[in-house]
Amino acid sequence: MFKCDTDEDARLGALYRYEILDSEPEESFDRITRLAKNVLQMPMVVVSLVDRDRQWFKSRQGVTATETPRAISFCTHTIRDNVPLIVRDAHADPRFAHSPLVTGEPHIRYYIGIPLRSRDGHNIGALCAMDTNVRDLNSGQVKMLEDLARLVVDEMELRLLASIDSLTGVLSRRSFLDAAERDLQQSIRSGSDLSCAVIDLDHFKSINDTYGHGAGDTVLQQVIAACREQLRSSDYIGRTGGEEFTAIFRDTSITAAVEAAERLRSAIESTVVELDGRKIRISASIGVAQRTNPDWTLSDLMQAADAAMYLAKSLGRNRTVPSPDCEQGGLDRENETALARTELTAPPFDTAVDIYDDRNRDRAQSHLDYLEGARTCFHHAKHGMNEKMKALFADIALDYLRLAHEKAAVMPVRRTEQGKTKGMTLPPLL
C-alpha cells in the first residue's frame, strides 16, 4: 500500500533521517546512475533528493549543477505520486514549458523520474533520466529504472541501518560524531550557538547486576524513548557509550540547553519500567556545555560536557550541571557559586550529623568524595584549571569546610573492609 506525501514535514523527517544531504559523492550511487546512462543512452541521469526548498543531487551524470531550486524542478512533481513521472516533451507540457531548466541549460526536453520511496513510505526524491530530445522508453526500460531506484534506496537504507543503535534506535556513536562534527562546523560558519549534553544513567550497572542484561536493555529502550519525546525536531541524540548518551542542541545557548537537558532528566526520573511485576526506576546525571571558544573542537565540547556530567555525579547524581568552562551565555560566576552552594546545602547536607553515623557511611563517603570529584572535574583534561574554575572550586571547598565544622564536632569516620574505623581526610585545597 503506497502512501502519498500529504504531510511534508513527515516526508522531510524521513529524508533527514538518512543524513545524506550535502554528503560527498559515492561510487555506490554513481555506478547506478552510470549504468542507467549507458543502457538507456540518456545524456543526463541523477539521483535527486527533494529538500524543503531545493533538489540536491547525490549522484549526477551529464549534469554540472549540484542542486537547483525546488520550485523549478521536475522532481518536486515526481514525488507527489508513487508511479513514474514521464514528460515526453517538456515544450508541450504547460507545467514545464517555461522552466529555466527547459528554456535554458541543460535544455531538458524528455524527463522520466522514478520516486525514491523510503521504507516508511515517503517519497524523498527521484532517480531521473533526461534528454535534450523527445524520447520514448519502452516498459522494460522503465522497469529497469524502477529496479535501479530500489537499489538506490537499498544503499541509503544500508547507511541508515549502520547509523542507528539497534537497541535504542538513536544514532550510533560513529554517526552521532559525524553529525555533531557537521553541526559544529556549521555553527562556526554561521556563528550560531551549539550546545551538547552528556547523559549518564546513574547506577545502571546495578540494574544489570540485579535484574540481568535483558532488563538493562529494556530500561535503556524505555528511558531513551521517553527522552526522544522531549527533543525538538532539530535536536538529536546518540548512544556514545554503554549507558551514556549525548544530545546535540542546535542554535541553542547553554541556558536553553540546560533547560532542555533538565526536561530529559525529569523524563528519565519519571520513567517506571515494569518487569516481571517489579518496578524499576532510574535517574541520570547530565552535564551541559556550549561551544563558546572558537578554537574548540567537537572533542573539547564533549569533554566539557563530560566533566560537567561527572560533577553532577559528584554532587549527588540525578541532576543537570552546566560546564564551568562555558564563559559566555551561561551562568555567570555569581550564579555558578550560588548553584554550588545550593548543592552543598541540599537536604543530604542538612543532616550532616547523620552522615557520620556508620549506618550512613555510603552517604558520608559520597560527601567526602564530593570535593575530590569537584576538583577532578574542574580540572579540564586539556585546558587545566582556569582562574574562574579555581575561584569557583575554592568557594565550594570553603563552604564545605565551614558547613562541615558548623554541623559536626567530630571528623567523619568510615569503616574499612576489615571493620576498623579510621579518620577521613578532606582532599587538599588546590
Partner 1 sequence: MTAVPDNSSILTQIRCDLSSLPITPPLRANVRQHHEHLEQLAGRLKTLGVDDKTINEHVIEIFEQYKSELLKSLESLAGASTDWTEQEKRDV
Residues that bind partner 1 (CB under 8 A): 27-28, 31-32, 35, 39, 140-141, 143-144, 147-148, 150-151, 154-155, 157-159, 161-162, 165-166, 172-175, 200, 202-205, 239-244, 285, 310, 313
CB 204 within 8 A of CB 282: yes
Closest approach of partner 1 to the CB of residue 173, in Å: 5
Residue 124 to residue 199: CA distance in whole angstroms: 33
CB of 74 to partner 1, least distance (A): 24
Q: Interhelix angle for 139-163 vs 173-190, to 10°?
A: 90
Set of cell numbers at residue 117: 520511496
Shortest spacing between CB 56 and partner 1, in angstroms: 20
Judged by beta carbon, residue 240 or residue 292, the one nearer partner 1 is 240
Is 178 or 259 the residue whose CB approaches partner 1 more closely?
Answer: 178
Q: State which residue, 102 or 197, has the beta carbon closest to partner 1.
A: 197
Least separation in angstroms between CB 169 and partner 1: 11
Q: How many angstroms separate the CA atoms of 26 and 372, rounded?
A: 50
Is 150 or 232 the residue whose CB approaches partner 1 more closely?
150
| Residue 60 cell numbers, joined | 549526477
Whole-angstrom distance, CA of residue 209 vs CA of residue 58: 47
How far the first Cα of the chain sits from its last, in Å, is 67
Closest distance between partner 1 and the C-beta of residue 163, in Å?
8
Q: Which is nearer to partner 1, 70 or 159 (CB)?
A: 159
Check residue 426 and report its DSSP letter. Answer: P
| Cβ 365 vs Cβ 314: under 8 Å | no
> What Cα–Cα distance (Å) separates residue 409 from each residue in 168, 284, 412?
50, 34, 9
Helices (H), 164-253: 173-190, 204-211, 213-230
**CB 158, min distance to partner 1, A:** 5
CB of 317 to partner 1, least distance (A): 8
Tell the smallest beta-carbon distance from residue 75 to partner 1 (Å): 21
Q: What residues contact 87, with CB distance under 8 A and at least 6 apart?
A: 74, 93, 95, 96, 110, 111, 112
Half-sphere exposure of 248 (CA within 13 A, CB side): 27
Helix (H, G, I), strand (E, B) or coil at 421: strand
Cell of 328: 559566555
3-state secondary structure of 133: coil
Using the minimum distance from each CB to partner 1, give the nearer residue, 55 or 240. 240
161 or 401: whose CB is closer to partner 1?
Answer: 161
CB 40 within 8 A of CB 133: no
Written as one letter, the residue type at 18 is Y
Nearer to partner 1, 68 or 320 (CB): 320
Provide, rounded to whole angstroms, the least separation between the CB of residue 33 and partner 1: 11
